[in-house]
Structures are given as structure tokens and as C-alpha cells.
Amino acid sequence: MTQILTRLAVPIQVLFWAALIFALYMAFDPRPPPLSIDRFGDKFEHMLAFGTLTLLAQLSFRRVPRWRIAERLSFLGALIEVMQSSPWVHRDCDIRDWVADTVIIIIVTVPFAIADRRR
């Protein structure tokens, strides 16, 4: 399994950066395009985005401590909310969005941290 992940590290990193760019675009676009998942609500979208980013980051950056990845992604979620409070973005800042981001980041990170301890 480790060999497979090692060979897939670069493609997974490319997916991570693409997902990050997409998430940032959706976060800062004043009128993001409608998605089929809009019906599930804003918090679901946040959890889907940050769950995906966390999974890809945990698989891509295996030499970086797991909790550092989680910390940085949570900080990114907080930074997005702060930036959305700027009048030039024309979006709403909601601390509950950051909480949703952080909750899913922790949920995705825990199995990786447990697996690392077992090794």
C-alpha cells in the first residue's frame, strides 16, 4: 500500500492543488455558479470541500505531521471567513462555516493519526 501511495503522491498533489484552487474560487466569487449539491446546504458544501482537501493533503504530504496539516487547513477555513467579511468580496462571514470546516478536518485526520501511531 505504501508503494502505491508513493507512486501516486504527485498526481494526488496535483488533485489537492486543483481542489484548493476550486475551493478558493467558490469561496471568493461574489456569485458562485449553482451546483447540484446546493440543496444540501452551505455547511454540507463546506464539509465536502474541506473533507476533500484534508483527505488529499493527508495522502499527498505524508512527511508533514498529520495535525500540522489539520491546523493549516483549519486556519485556511478561518482566513476564508475573515476575507469574506471584506466588502469587496460581497460574501457573508459565518463562524459556523469555519466550525464545520474544522470538524470535518478533524474527522478525516483522526484515522490517519491512529494509523501512524500503530506503525
Residue 33, judged by CB atoms within 10 A of its CB (0-12, 13-18, 19+), counts as exposed
Yes or no: say if 36 and 75 are a contact pair by the CB < 8 Å rule.
Answer: no
- Render pLDDT for 84-116 as a digit per residue (tens, 0 to 9): 988 887 888 889 999 999 999 999 999 999 999
Residue 55, domain extent:
2-29+37-118
Report yes or no on whether pTM surpasses 0.75.
yes
Mapped onto helix, strand or coil, the DSSP state of residue 56 is helix
**What does the alpha-carbon distance between residue 59 and residue 70 come to, in Å, rounded to a whole number?**
13
- The identity of residue 34, as a single letter, is P
Task: At 108, list the grid cell.
Answer: 478525516
Yes or no: say if 58 and 25 are a contact pair by the CB < 8 Å rule.
Answer: no
What's the structural domain count of the chain?
A: 1
- The identity of residue 19, as a single letter, is A
- Render pLDDT for 8-18 as a digit per residue (tens, 0 to 9): 888 999 999 99
